[in-house]
Structure 1
Amino acid sequence: MDKDKRKLNLSKIIFKPIRNEKWQPITIPVVSIVISFIAAAIVILLIGKNPLQAFYNLLQGAGIMPKPAYAGYKSMLTDFLSLLNAMTPLVFASLAVAVALKAGLFNIGVSGQMLVSGFIATIIVGYSGLDAIIAKPLVLVVGFITGGLVGGLVGWLKYRFNINEVVSTIMLNYTAQYIISFFIQMYYIDPLSRQSKYVSEEARLTLVNVEMANLKMDIPLGFILAIVVAILLKFLLDRTVVGYEIKAVGANRKAAKFAGINVGKNMVLAMVISGGLAGLAGVTYYLGYYASIQPKVLSSMGFDSIAVSLLGNIHPIGIIFSSFLVSIIDQGSTYMSSQAGIRQEIASVIIGLILLFSACGAYLKHKASQLKEKNVDRKERRS
């Protein structure tokens, strides 16, 4: 009996922060992150290092905390801008996954959509020689349209032929990877880097080595757009008929059809929006963070975005914060490795633990509601 009471008291302590259903979209990811960092700290302790020092070094490397010294033309500000530059395509990619999930679809082809959009924008605009005032907005337009067409194809195949979107997106990933690799190696290869030729500075969505206040910084032009798109997407999903219909289709297709909602149209529309956002991720990645494309390589960001989206509770604003957290760990890992003497792969372990515990969000929610029901039953018995 005492053992059961102790177990119940422990459950109360663990699940108390997430028992309020109103705040669960925030509290569950936060609890998952805290638990994952505790687990990561244990891993670091097991290899004989100081976890607090390691976490502090991560923040220093990402530009959140100051370093003891900086190289010429560098500062905490330049490190932070590099963090935002890396974070920008991750936000777009994670939003792409979220839109598809809202419609009950699993877009595992974000990497392929990024690659196709980045390649098309590269050959149409990146090598065109257009002025920056035309080239930069045109890159975004081409990226969104290209990604939207690829995503729309997946949605149409799902609706018209009931082809599972996971299968079709995986196949399109490989198709895009090898076809684009062929064209790069045949027509656009740089003989020195063995990657595609670098895009022009006028078309690039990151301003590189901008000199200001005796600093050389990389300014990501797409970052503000990513924040604006996240806010607009939240408005679309929560405040419009289109958003309501997409979420209704995702919740229950049969019920949505019975209510008069065009299921097929909304599935295709959701994948068009998802693919368009993946396209924006592609151009901010291949014509922003990088300036070229490596043949035969799919960006891991397209797959990481699935977990980042889940960590953000498939919520546009939550995705901004989850992308920020994952980018801090990713960008700060090199400095952590050099300063704390911890292998850089430990950062991947930390990210993996965060994403693992975030995937347990549904379980945490279930246990919290279960504990709440037990407390209600106990009070009823007493009364």
Structure 2
Amino acid sequence: MQEKKKKGNLLVRFLGHEKYQFLTIPLFAILISLLVGAVVLLLLGKNPLDAYVNLLQGSGILPKAKYAGGKSMLTDFFSFMDCWTPMIFASLSVAVALKTGLFNIGVSGQMLAAGFITTITVGYSTLSAPIAKPLVILVAAAVGALVGGLIGFLKYRFNINEVVSSIMLNYIIEYVVGFFINTRYVNPISRQSQTVSSEARLTLSGTKIGDLKFDIPLGIILAVIVVVIVKYIFDRTVLGYELKAVGSNQKASRYAGIPVGKNMILAMMISGLLAGLAGASYYLGYYASIQPKVLSSTGFDAIAVAILGHSNPVGILGSSFLINIISKGSTYMSSSLGVDAEIASVITGLILLFAACDMYIRYRVDKAKENLDKKNERRESHE
């Protein structure tokens, strides 16, 4: 009898387990997107397996055929983590806003504002490393929180849609920062801002260990700690409960006595703070300068990461790792396989597309599971 109960579609049983659907459904969506991506690569006359292996090699997950002097798989992986750090912060920023029913599409602008203010106040100072590095984190967090808080205030006080205000602020910050860089802080050779001091930088660039040179990201430790903190806030605190309640139903929250306006502003301040940390680890970590009139794509890619990770901090850790592999490994895949690096963006887009179909996949799986259970019940009743 027990054997007969186990009969049925294994895939439906696997995806239909409610306790683990938060994990199994996204993994299924990723698998489907990679299969569709493989079809695209086959149409281009390329081996999909080689392409995916190249992505892993370019990210330091698998070894390359050969390396330049001072480089190895380990140095590539440290570089990957350096690039991964701002993505974690940016994705958490999007997730916090989404949990409260808000859409922070201005993460890139908040990153740039935080990165620029921190650069000119701390990055160009003569402060020693023990003072400069913590100050970089504090200043960037404060600037990001102020910009995010402004968006939340405009939403609460004047009912200005946060998508509109954050997009407009993106443009304002982009061109204002570009103006000041080009007129006061530009490097005449690179046409970017002057490089920040090594004492203020959150990446220990060119650190020699044995025969290898590493770019050691200090921010990755803070990023993992912040993941745990955000997870704890949403799961175990009154603040987290109120933010989620406001995101689920503002009218019901207001009726229950939850201050909706206050929580909206607070959510955007926390979201902006995390975006500020992303800006610090990007402009004073992974990079050491700012390109004028250009917004980082990290803030926009973070939207895909947050959706794929179901706005769950732990899920975001995994989804950001995957998206960063595709982004970081695309250059090596392009040079090794002879395909455009933009194919990586196509794969990322496919992952986002199937991740967006999450509710539909869940509905179909639950329906199939229900039908399967009914068939098994009828079979047992006949026997």
TM-score by structure 1 length? Answer: 0.94
Task: Say whether residues 1:360 and 2:357 are aligned partners.
Answer: yes
Partner Cα distance (2:298, 2:164) in 1? 19
**Aligned runs of 1:77-116 on 2, under 5 Å?**
77-116=74-113
Q: Which of 332, 336, 340 is equivalent to 2:337? A: 340
Aligned to 1:74: 71
Change (3 A) 1:151 1:237: same
What amino acid does structure 2 have at the position aligned with 1:315? N
Task: Say whether residues 1:152 and 2:149 are aligned partners.
Answer: yes
| Alignment deviations for residues 304-343 of structure 1 (CA, whole Å, 9 cap, x no partner) | 1001111111100111111111111111112112222222
Partner Cα distance (1:100, 1:269) in 2? 10
Partner Cα distance (2:9, 2:355) in 1? 20
Partner Cα distance (2:251, 2:119) in 1? 42
Q: Which of 176, 182, 185 is equivalent to 1:185? A: 182
Aligned to 1:370: 367
| Alignment deviations for residues 166-185 of structure 1 (CA, whole Å, 9 cap, x no partner) | 01101110111111111111
What amino acid does structure 1 have at the position aligned with 2:329? G
Identity percentage over the alignment?
62
Aligned to 2:298: 301
Q: Which of 47, 50, 55 is equivalent to 1:53? A: 50
SS in 1 for 2:175: helix
| Alignment deviations for residues 332-382 of structure 1 (CA, whole Å, 9 cap, x no partner) | 112112222222221111111111111111211122223334445556777
Aligned to 2:348: 351
Partner Cα distance (2:167, 2:261) in 1? 21
Aligned to 1:28: 25
How many pairs align?
373
Partner Cα distance (1:284, 1:270) in 2? 21
More deviation, 347-356/140-149: 347-356
What amino acid does structure 1 have at the position aligned with 2:187? D
What amino acid does structure 2 have at the position aligned with 1:292? S
| Alignment deviations for residues 215-236 of structure 1 (CA, whole Å, 9 cap, x no partner) | 0110000001101100110001
What amino acid does structure 1 have at the position aligned with 2:107? V
**Aligned runs of 1:313-324 on 2, under 5 Å?**
313-324=310-321
Partner Cα distance (1:210, 1:134) in 2? 20
Task: Say whether residues 1:252 and 2:249 are aligned partners.
Answer: yes
| Alignment deviations for residues 70-111 of structure 1 (CA, whole Å, 9 cap, x no partner) | 110000000000000000000000000000000000000001
More deviation, 76-85/20-29: 20-29
Partner Cα distance (1:151, 1:215) in 2? 41
Displacement of 1:13 in angstroms is 6.0
2:13 and 2:369 in contact (8 A); partners too:
no
Partner Cα distance (1:355, 1:12) in 2? 27
Aligned to 2:276: 279
SS in 1 for 2:207: strand
Displacement of 1:276 in angstroms is 0.1
2:12 and 2:369 in contact (8 A); partners too:
no
| Alignment deviations for residues 129-154 of structure 1 (CA, whole Å, 9 cap, x no partner) | 11011000000000101000111111
The gaps in structure 2 that reach 5 residues or longer are 1-7
Q: Which of 2, 15, 25 is equivalent to 1:18? A: 15
Partner Cα distance (2:52, 2:377) in 1? 47
What amino acid does structure 1 have at the position aligned with 2:77? F
What amino acid does structure 2 have at the position aligned with 1:211? K
Partner Cα distance (1:307, 1:59) in 2? 20
What amino acid does structure 2 have at the position aligned with 1:149? L
Displacement of 1:12 in angstroms is 5.0
TM-score by structure 2 length? Answer: 0.94
Task: Say whether residues 1:121 and 2:118 are aligned partners.
Answer: yes
The gaps in structure 1 that reach 5 residues or longer are 1-10
Partner Cα distance (2:377, 2:101) in 1? 39
Aligned to 1:213: 210
- The alignment's C-alpha RMSD in Å is 1.5
What amino acid does structure 2 have at the position aligned with 1:240? T
What amino acid does structure 2 have at the position aligned with 1:317? V
What amino acid does structure 2 have at the position aligned with 1:203? A
| Alignment deviations for residues 116-137 of structure 1 (CA, whole Å, 9 cap, x no partner) | 0000000110011110110000
Q: Which of 114, 120, 138 is equivalent to 1:141? A: 138
Aligned to 2:231: 234
SS in 2 for 1:129: coil
Partner Cα distance (1:260, 1:368) in 2? 38
